[in-house]
């Protein structure tokens, strides 16, 4: 099986954020198209993604092995909150049940606010993949990618935190329960 998350995929996500956030931060009526990421910044992004990838993959495997059904995502929410706090983010819990919001501010918070959302819930499906990190919850699995969404979000937010000197504004990360 090909991995669902890879360094190139995460790097593209980060590059898109870094191209998008400055465009959104301009106070113009019609924002210009984003310019290509300079090679020095691209190299820095690659380095930071390489550092963030192993923890993100570990998070993916944990989320995959510990799925929770809609409105029961307490362990998932607790892990996300702990990881976001470890990044120095402000975290608000208990939103809509087990939902949470993490706030990441750049060193220059004067800019636009961007929302980044990930689902949290698993499905009532029995996993038969044989993966070493297969679901430990009988009759429940992450069968439609919410585990990837959460892990990629944590990796992306970790990289954005390390690059908070090259973008301005605020990212609101919403972990949505009971999708």
Q: For the chain, how big is the Rg over CA atoms in Å?
A: 17
Quick check: is 121 catalytic? yes
Nearest C-alpha neighbor of 164 from the set 83, 105, 101, 90: 105
Quick check: is 61 catalytic? no
Could you say which of 121, 127, 147, 164 is catalytic?
121
Q: Are 69 and 56 in contact (CB under 8 A)?
A: no
Contacts of 54 by beta carbon, 8 Å cutoff, 6+ apart: none
116-140: b or e for each residue (b if 16 or more CB lie within 10 Å)? bebbbbbeeeebeeeeebebebeeb
Which residues are designated catalytic? 121, 179
């Amino acid at each position: 099986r090909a991995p669902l998350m890879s360094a190139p995929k995460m790097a593209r996500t980060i590059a898109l954020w870094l191209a998008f956030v400055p465009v959104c931060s301009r106070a113009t009526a019609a924002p210009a198209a984003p310019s290509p990421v300079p090679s020095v910044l691209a190299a820095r992004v690659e380095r930071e993604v390489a550092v963030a990838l192993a923890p993100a993959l570990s998070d993916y495997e944990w989320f995959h092995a510990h799925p929770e059904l809609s409105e029961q995502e307490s362990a998932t929410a607790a892990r996300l909150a702990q990881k976001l706090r470890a990044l120095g983010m402000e975290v608000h819990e208990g939103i809509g049940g087990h939902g949470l919001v993490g706030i990441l501010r750049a060193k220059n918070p004067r800019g636009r606010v961007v929302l980044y959302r990930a689902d949290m819930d698993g499905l009532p499906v029995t996993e038969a993949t044989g993966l070493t990190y297969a679901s430990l919850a009988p009759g429940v699995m992450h069968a439609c990618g919410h585990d990837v969404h959460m892990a990629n979000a944590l990796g992306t937010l970790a990289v954005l935190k390390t690059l908070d000197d090259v973008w301005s504004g605020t990212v609101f990360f919403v972990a949505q329960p009971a999708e």
